[in-house]
Chain A
Amino acid sequence: MRSLTLDSRGRPRIVVTGMGLVTSLGWGKSENWPRLIAGQSGIAHITRFPTDGLKTTIAGTIATPNGTAYSAYTHSLRIAESAADEAIQQAGIGTPGRFPGPLFIATPPSELEWPQLSRLYAHAEPAAGEGYRRLLAAARTRAFDELHHDVAFASIADAMQRRFGTHGEPLSLCTACASGASTIQLAMERLRRGEAEAALCVGTDATVHPEGLVRFSLLSALSTRNDPPEAASRPFSKSRDGFVIAEGAGAVVVETYEHARARGAKPLGVVMGAGEKADCYHRTRSKPDGSAIIGAITKALADADVTSNDIDHVNAHGTSTPENDKMEWLSLAHVLGPRKHAVPVTSNKSQIGHTLIAAGAVEAVIALMTMNEGVIPPTINHHEPDPEIHLDVVSNTARTAQVRSVLSNSFGFGGQNVCLVLAAEPW
């Protein structure tokens, strides 16, 4: 059954034909790639808002253009549009404003931020009541209807659908920090079902605002190593103390191989398979035996019809939290077996921080570029390896390597585990 157009199970092969990227290192692949392989960091002191009194004062932010006002909605949408535009242009698919397939998009929480709440509160008279009664009275004046975009859960998906003219109802996803990978997985499933020939997958997150930072801080998830900022994110290091929150967007155009070939598009990589396994242990921690992570990796390999011996490289979730990196090592050790010391592993989060909802899409783009370019971006700040972790971490400097396949891991709060198997060429 296996051919260029069908995989070993007779399902349509899914290829990537366009990629877009925005991170704290820059806008677009051409700004990001040289900085990634040069081992630069996008992490800096936060300047968007005063950080007095906060334990963590660093992040990987993306500046708003020309000092325009920030809101999570406008900024997440802006970088999503940029990444999607880049991916669509590279794919050369459809016509402007008419993408020939559905949209799968992972978006951050939709909520009012404190500047908006304060504006509402100040607008109504105290006589309107206290707290939310006063906010509601202000909302009833109809002077704040534009804030609907910030709180409507489908608003980013909807704006993206209008901008790019994707088909039908978009799918707006949240699988926490695995969301970006979920967009690619769900698109893959839909293409395999024959319901579409192409899809646009986007993950976006620009939620560096005071409450966005504090709520992760209160869960003891963030690094407090504020100085120097670029040294805080240190996945797989002994002294790692948490992740660094960051902004980013990643986009890929996926198509059936047949569709890409028919229109003469060049495949940039293959989505061989995806695997997902939900954990039931704890809201923020994995089962101590790693069985859910192992399950996700195993299911991804099985779905791709490959074995762990076929994996040349792991693009790790690698958050730099004590918990994640230990569990990821234990799980990889289990799956890779004797090759556990020999498969190069890297965490892009060492450079660009944790782009949360977007991470799976951002890192899928970097994994695909790794195969295309034959260079693995480094895990920076890996000067003092955790003695308990015996992975072949691509320490501090980029490594030239022929990479035919990548396992890209994404894990999230709420027991979310999604793994993708990506390849340079169909096999």
Chain B
Amino acid sequence: MQRQRAAWVTGLGIVSSLGEGQDAHWQALARSPVAAAKIDNSSHAPYAVHPLSAVDIDRLIPSRADRKQMGAWQRLGVHAAGLALDDAGVAGNEQILEYMDLVVAAGNGERDESFDARLLDQICALSTREAAATLNAALASGLRPTLYLGELSNLLAGNIQIVHKVTGSSRTLKGEELAGFSAIEDATRRIAAGQADIVLAGGALNAERNDLLLNYELADSLWAMPFAPVWERSRAGGGFVPGSAAAFLVIEASDHALKRGARAYARISATTSDRVLRAEAGDIAASLRRLGDRLPIGQADHVLGVLSGASGVEPATSEEYSFLKDWIGVPQQRASARAYGTLLGHSVEAHFPIGVALACLALDRNGFFEPFEDNALEVPCTVPPERILVTSVGHWRGEGLALIERVDSSARMA
């Protein structure tokens, strides 16, 4: 095998209910008092969602025709991807975009809710045979012809290619939270092994849609009670509050970044994941402990920040709590954790990329986030962490851990 290359994060694009860009998120999350979570309790009652803040989508997707061809989740993702490329200083750099690789974590796009509603109302009154004929005719004449292009998982990537001209390769990974984890991991490992030099990776979620809520209600995964922070929800059965958000990262080989004089936020130094069957209580925590043992975080006498992607869904959240409590309890770890879903909501495929983006932000700004909840994990952090553990425990499956570390100041500037 080739010598492992360091994978640096050199560009961040982040959009959520708290706003757009690094400053908006830093102001909201790292200053005391922490901003109040932005929540819409009424539009989708009994469910709450974290609605997207006002975003000037037209700025980075100037073509009206392009915007029209996309679903809302695609516009959001393409926008965040544009922010990341801009931030990394490669937007419009055809020479680099031509070989830049793309890895996106995605679900499906929005269905046409009003069309579905009309048609359901119509066919439910009919016999099976009549319903079939009506369905065929209605689908053939009533579906917007390009709707499917807004729904297809890989068309978020496809639109990033069209709008931003990232055309080295393009992969879309599916599978809820762990798809977001795998996207970052695929980018990092290809860079480490010399299979890629610069990769745009991330995901997007539009939470403000009933079809998405329906999918997660079918898994009994949603929180439908008055708002409560993530860890606290386990007392009432748990559940997640979806949050509209997107995050893209430009991940780059350190030699490639240095050569073009790019600035590094941080280094993705390790990623590890598994999927245990969750048959017995404690299986998730045991899996996380095994994963933790694979990361170089056991003995070091450094401050450890933890950005937890906990969703609030049980039993994943309380098992992650018990895993993290072991770390927080060890004095030499000097660790403190933040479940960022409390403030941003849970953004499924985009959730882990957001956690990595926030980690990069904290390491770059030499600080950490204020506690979002009053408990034994979210203790104040008085010394800026050198390393941040980002967790991704899927609400129904999959466990992942990543270690993001400060890049030595002598190495970070060309």
Question: Chain A residues in contact with chain B, CB under 8 A?
Answer: 49-55, 107, 109-112, 114, 117-118, 121-122, 130-136, 139-140, 142, 144-145, 147-148, 151-154, 157-158, 161-162, 168-176, 182, 186, 189-190, 192-195, 210-211, 214-219, 276-284, 292, 412-416
Contact = CB atoms under 8 A, between A and B. Distances in A.
A145 B102 CA distance: 35
Nearest to B175: A154
B24 interface: no
A153 B400 contact: no
A195 B106 CA distance: 25
A214 B152 contact: no
A60 B219 CA distance: 32
A112 B213 CA distance: 13
A4 to B, nearest CB: 18
Contacts of B277: 162
A284 B175 CA distance: 24
Max chain A C-beta neighbours (<10 A), residue from B145, B157, B174? B174
Contacts of B124: 118, 121-122
B210 A175 contact: no
Contact of B220 (A142, A171, A279): A142
A186 B155 CA distance: 19
Contacts of A107: 174
B117 A130 contact: yes
Contacts of A135: 120, 210, 214
Contact of A218 (B148, B214, B275, B398): B148
Interface in B148-175: 148-149, 151-155, 157-159, 161-162, 165-175
Given A52-B133, A136-B210, A136-B213, A175 B170 contact: yes
Given A152-B219, A414-B154, A175 B116 contact: no
9 contacts: A135-B210, A136-B210, A153-B107, A169-B178, A169-B398, A211-B143, A214-B136, A413-B152, A414-B158
A189 B136 contact: no
B293 to A, nearest CB: 15
Contacts of A217: 140
B405 to A, nearest CB: 21
Given A152-B396, A153-B174, A278-B170, A110 B108 contact: yes
Given A131-B120, A277-B169, A152 B176 contact: yes
A53 B168 contact: no
A117 B13 CA distance: 36
B147 interface: yes
Contact of B149 (A52, A139, A193, A283): A283
Contact of A169 (B107, B143, B273): B273
B147 A215 contact: yes
A182 B102 CA distance: 13
A278 B178 contact: no
A154 B162 contact: no
B117 A132 contact: yes
A283 B129 CA distance: 36
Contacts of A278: 102, 157, 161, 166-170
A76 to B, nearest CB: 13
A133 B210 contact: yes
Contacts of B176: 152-154
Given A132-B113, A161-B275, A279-B161, 19 more contacts: A53-B136, A109-B151, A110-B108, A135-B120, A139-B214, A152-B176, A153-B179, A157-B174, A172-B174, A174-B174, A175-B172, A189-B195, A195-B189, A210-B139, A211-B139, A216-B148, A219-B149, A278-B166, A416-B170
A276 B146 contact: no
Given A52-B136, A283-B162, A414 B167 contact: no
Contact of A219 (B108, B145, B154, B169): B145
Max chain B C-beta neighbours (<10 A), residue from A133, A189, A215, A278? A278
Which 7 pairs of residues, A with B, have the shortest CB-CB distance?
A131-B117, A414-B158, A154-B175, A132-B210, A278-B170, A276-B169, A215-B148
Contact of B273 (A118, A161, A168, A284): A168
Contact of A53 (B106, B137, B146, B175): B137
Interface residues of B, number: 81
Nearest to A151: B215
B396 to A, nearest CB: 7
B148 A173 contact: no
B350 to A, nearest CB: 13
Contact of A168 (B139, B154, B275): B275
Contact of B161 (A50, A111, A193, A280): A280
A194 B1 contact: yes
Contact of B171 (A133, A152, A173): A173
B123 interface: yes
Contact of B120 (A121, A140, A154): A121
Interface in B206-239: 210-211, 213-215, 217-220
Contact of B135 (A161, A210, A283): A210
A186 B211 CA distance: 31
Contacts of A175: 154, 170-172
Contact of B218 (A148, A215, A284): A148
A279 to B, nearest CB: 7
Contact of A214 (B139, B192, B211, B396): B139
B182 interface: yes
B133 A50 contact: yes
Interface string B338-352: 000000000000000
Interface string B90-118: 00000000000010001110010110111
Contact of B162 (A173, A276, A281): A281
A22 B206 CA distance: 36
Given A122-B124, A214-B139, A283 B210 contact: no
Nearest to A217: B140
B136 A50 contact: yes
Contacts of A215: 143, 147-148
Contacts of B135: 114, 210
B157 A414 contact: yes
A279 B167 contact: yes
Nearest to A139: B217
Contacts of B394: 154
Contacts of A55: 140
B393 to A, nearest CB: 12
A115 to B, nearest CB: 9
